[in-house]
């Protein structure tokens, strides 16, 4: 029984976010434009017509998010750095933005002070717009490699003494296929060769960043570095030879495209070459030696399982067909809001086994989560009781323990996607993956039922040698909660946009309170939040407006300090 099994000693668990999806403040404190700024603001590019200019306002509210992490008891937090916030113009000769450095430095310090391990992604899709304008970004191998490596150097130099877990690129498959193959992601390009070219360049740029870290930083900083690849489990629709073969081709295109060169043999799977011919780039011998082994672990982002049939016309799936419908006509699992996602815990275990046996690397599960169907349109009291998401996690956690204890798979982390409901790329704010509900009109955060389950599960399955990460109160002992069952968040403090909490500032609902356990949301509270939801659909997320709240003398001193810092020469 899984109840008697524990996780390996030193196991990292927590939640994940990405800079563009939560930060907002796109034109604040020297940040430069990214390709997602203009793309998401272009009519028709997101499901609800909204962009990432505010998101969850986490650039201003990061201390409130930190309070949630402490309340939830996580021992690790995965987040990404914004290249455009650190080097606004992106290039190797361009200046470093000291305000961007300070923002992430303050976050890292606060995490460590709270006993939370920072797990940092260098690139989560928000390429500086200047690099796309100068040389087409990822389409230019030489330029993007030099600029990405310099960006990585800045991050290693400024944060590496405190950050011991690095990811170079998040889900490079999505960058290539969705950004340059079918154009639904930034920069919105499409063609029959560009995706394969971009993927090739991503792998090479990643490998150069890893080489830099290993050559110049690893010995003194004692960290580890890798890449995180998306890839859902692909299994045959039935046991016919053609469908068994098709499932392997689908795995090659979904996983092996990136994983084989990096983790297996330095080459692309033969099935890709057979289907794509000379449209698929080749590695030089020097590149092959650089790429092979350029990850200390297997970073795994996964969400679901697909049943695969032979036939189909999607080249990015190896010309196979994908379905959730079994041969007997039943559905594989519970349908999510996302059309591509259903629950299927056995697939999670099968994927863990496949990756470990094929690539022989310890696995960090860096992203896994579920979007509840129609969650965005549900009454808040119902939305907070996200049973389908809880069941998704429950099934996958059991499968993970089975993979560890019965199959011998070495798994070292699990990060739930996501800490917060947030800007979900082409879906805008329609799709919610958070274990914390965000009211985009007020920017208040409300923990969901799934959060309480996750915290309880991990604290009851930690290795005896690990100190249990018990939730801590988010409220000040001297400041009463704003409402029964609601814990007031602390003030933003130094490093945030304001150093006093304005009236109506974000509050976090205590998921352990009787009010939430018994679903006791008052009619007035329900009506208020429902009205806010309706208004936010029309107006978009609320944004903290600098200057509206009274600032203390500390805030003025910080502002002057930031101006001095911004004038300091770059140390890159």
- The 10s digit of each residue's pLDDT in 247-280 is 999 999 999 999 999 999 999 999 999 999 999 9
Q: Can you read off the two tokens belonging to residue 287?
A: 């590149």
Q: Is residue 472 part of a domain?
A: no
Sheet harboring 233-236: ordered strands across? 233-236, 305-310, 320-323
Q: Which two tokens stand for residue 269?
A: 């799977």
Identify the band that residue 542 occupies on the pLDDT scale cut at 50, 70 and 90. Answer: low
Query: For residue 278, what is the domain's CATH number?
Result: 3.20.20.80
Q: Does 203 map to a domain?
A: yes
Banded model confidence at residue 191, pLDDT cuts 50, 70, 90: confident
The answer to whether residue 475 sits within a structural domain is: no
Give me 381's structure tokens: 């009291």
Is the bond preceding residue 187 a cis peptide, omega within 30 degrees? yes
Residue 558 has pLDDT above 90, yes or no: no
Question: Do 332 and 324 contact (CB within 8 A), yes or no?
Answer: yes
The 8-class DSSP code of residue 442 comes to T
Torsional sign, CA 415, 419, 421, 424: negative
Distance between CA 564 and CA 572 in Å, rounded?
Answer: 18
Q: What is the total count of domains within the chain? A: 1
**Helices marked H in 406-541:** 449-461, 514-517, 523-539
User: Mapping DSSP to helix (H, G, I), strand (E, B) and coil, where does residue 40 land?
Assistant: helix
For residue 303 the two structure tokens come to 């969400």
Residue 446 has pLDDT above 60, yes or no: yes
- Closest among 208, 285, 295, 225 to 258, alpha carbons compared: 295
Residue 476 maps to a domain: no
Reported as a single tens digit per residue, the pLDDT across 498-534 is 332 222 333 343 333 323 333 334 333 444 444 444 4
Q: What is the mean pLDDT of residues 415-424?
A: 99
What confidence tens digit (pLDDT) does each residue in 27-49 have?
999 999 999 999 999 999 999 99
Write down the pLDDT at residue 488: 34
Q: What is the pLDDT of residues 134-158, one digit of tens each?
A: 999 999 999 999 999 999 999 999 9
Distance of alpha carbon 488 from alpha carbon 495, whole angstroms = 19
Q: Residue 479 belongs to what H/E stretch?
A: none
On the question of pLDDT at 291 being above 60, the answer is yes
pTM value? 0.85
Active site residues: 171, 367
Please state, in angstroms and rounded to a whole number, the distance separating the CA atoms of residues 249 and 13. 32
Helix (H) or strand (E) holding 246: helix 241-251
pLDDT at 541: 58
The mean pLDDT value for 327-336 works out to 99
Using 50, 70 and 90 to split pLDDT, how confident is the model at 556?
Answer: very low
Q: Residues of 555-564 as b/e, b for ≥16 C-beta within 10 angstroms?
A: beebeeebee
Higher pLDDT, 523 or 22: 22
d(CA 80, CA 166): 10
Asked if pLDDT for residue 413 goes beyond 50, the answer is yes
Q: How far apart are CA 444 and CA 384, in angstroms?
A: 13
Confidence of residue 468 (pLDDT cuts 50, 70, 90): low
Comparing 165-179, 233-247, 256-270, 542-556, the range with the smallest average pLDDT is 542-556
- How far apart are the C-alpha atoms of 12 and 22, rounded to whole Å? 22
Asked whether the CA dihedral 481, 484, 485, 486 is positive or negative, the reply is negative
In degrees, rounded to 5, the angle at the alpha carbon of residue 265 between the alpha carbons of residues 260 and 267 is 65
pLDDT, residue 524, reads 38
Residues 6+ apart with CB under 8 A from 304: 232, 233, 336, 340, 341, 342, 343, 344, 347
**Do 188 and 136 form a contact (C-beta atoms < 8 A)?**
no
User: What are the structure tokens assigned to 94, written together?
Assistant: 């361009």
With bands split at pLDDT 50, 70 and 90, how would you rate the model's confidence at 4? confident
Q: Do the domain assignments include residue 2?
A: no
**CA 292 from chain center: how many Å?**
25
Residue 68 within any structural domain of the chain: yes
- Alpha helix segments (H runs only) across 73-191: 83-86, 98-113, 129-135, 141-159, 172-180
The DSSP secondary structure of 162-223, one letter per residue, reads T--EEEEEE-HHHHHHHHHTB-SSTT--B-SSHHHHHHHHHHHHHHHHHHHHHHHTHHHH--
The whole-angstrom separation of Cα 365 and Cα 167 is 12
Residue 473 lies in a domain: no
Residue 140: domain span: 7-466+481-566
Instruction: Give the helix ranges, DSSP H, for 277-428.
Output: 285-291, 345-359, 380-384, 387-405
Calculate Rg over the CA atoms of the chain: 23
Distance CA 421, CA 57 (A): 12
What does the block give as tokens for 376?
Answer: 């965005």
Kindly state whether residue 311 falls inside one of the protein's structural domains: yes
The two tokens of residue 560 are 């002057």
Tokens of 302: 């996964």
Neighbours of 313 (CB within 10 A): 8
- CA dist 127 → 39, 294, 432 (Å): 12, 22, 24
Length of the chain, in residues: 572
Q: β-strands 507-509, 486-488: how paired?
A: antiparallel
Flag whether pLDDT at 351 surpasses 60: yes
């Amino acid at each position: 029984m899984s109840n008697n099994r524990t996780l390996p000693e030193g196991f990292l668990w927590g939640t994940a976010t990405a800079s563009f999806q939560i930060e907002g403040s796109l034109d604040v404190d020297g940040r430069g434009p990214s390709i997602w700024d203009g793309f998401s603001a272009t009519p028709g590019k997101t499901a609800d017509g909204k962009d990432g200019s505010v998101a969850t306002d986490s650039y201003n509210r990061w201390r409130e998010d930190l309070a949630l992490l402490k309340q939830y008891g996580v021992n690790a937090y995965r987040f990404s750095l914004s290249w455009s916030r650190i080097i606004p113009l992106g290039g190797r000769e361009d200046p470093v933005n000291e305000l961007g450095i300070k923002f992430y430095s303050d976050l890292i310090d606060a995490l460590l002070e709270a006993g939370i391990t920072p797990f940092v992604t260098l690139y989560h899709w928000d390429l500086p717009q200047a690099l796309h304008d100068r040389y087409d970004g990822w389409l230019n191998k030489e330029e993007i490699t030099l600029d990405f490596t310099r960006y990585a150097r800045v991050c290693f130099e400024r944060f590496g003494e405190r950050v011991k877990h690095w990811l170079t690129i998040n889900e490079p498959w999505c960058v290539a296929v969705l950004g340059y193959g079918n154009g639904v992601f930034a920069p919105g390009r499409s063609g029959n060769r560009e995706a394969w070219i971009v993927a090739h360049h991503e792998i090479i740029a990643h490998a150069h960043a890893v080489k830099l870290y290993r050559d110049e930083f690893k010995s003194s900083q004692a960290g580890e570095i890798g890449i995180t690849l998306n890839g859902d489990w692909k299994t045959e629709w039935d046991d016919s030879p053609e469908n068994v073969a098709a499932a392997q081709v689908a795995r090659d295109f979904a996983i092996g495209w990136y994983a084989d060169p990096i983790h297996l043999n330095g080459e692309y799977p033969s099935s890709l070459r057979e289907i794509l011919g000379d449209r698929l780039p080749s590695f030089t011998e020097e590149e092959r030696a650089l790429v092979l082994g350029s990850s200390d672990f297997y970073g795994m982002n996964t969400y679901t399982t697909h049943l695969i049939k032979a036939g189909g016309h999607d080249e990015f799936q190896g010309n196979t067909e994908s379905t959730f419908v079994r041969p007997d006509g039943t559905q594989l699992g519970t349908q999510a809001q996302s059309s591509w996602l259903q629950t299927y815990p056995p697939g999670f275990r099968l994927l863990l086994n496949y990756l470990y046996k094929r690539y022989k690397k310890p696995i960090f599960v860096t992203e896994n989560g579920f979007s509840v169907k129609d969650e965005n349109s549900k009454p808040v009291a119902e939305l907070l009781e996200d049973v389908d998401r809880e069941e998704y996690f429950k099934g996958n956690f059991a499968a993970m323990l089975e993979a560890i204890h019965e199959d011998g798979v070495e798994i070292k982390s699990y990060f739930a996607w996501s800490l917060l409901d947030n800007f979900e790329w082409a879906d805008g704010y329609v799709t919610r993956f958070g274990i914390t509900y965000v009211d985009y009109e007020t920017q208040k955060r409300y923990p969901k039922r799934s959060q309480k389950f996750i915290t309880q599960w991990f604290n009851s399955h930690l290795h005896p040698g690990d100190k249990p990460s018990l939730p801590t109160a988010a409220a000040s002992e001297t400041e009463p909660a704003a409402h029964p069952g609601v814990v007031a968040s602390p003030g933003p403090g130094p490093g945030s946009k304001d150093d006093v909490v304005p009236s109506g500032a974000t509050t976090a609902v205590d998921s352990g309170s009787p009010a939430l356990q018994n679903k006791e949301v008052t009619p007035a509270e329900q009506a208020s939040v429902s009205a806010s939801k309706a208004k936010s659909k029309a107006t978009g997320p609320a944004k903290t407006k600098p200057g509206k709240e009274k600032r203390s003398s500390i805030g003025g001193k910080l502002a002057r300090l930031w101006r001095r810092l911004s004038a300091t020469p770059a140390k890159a």
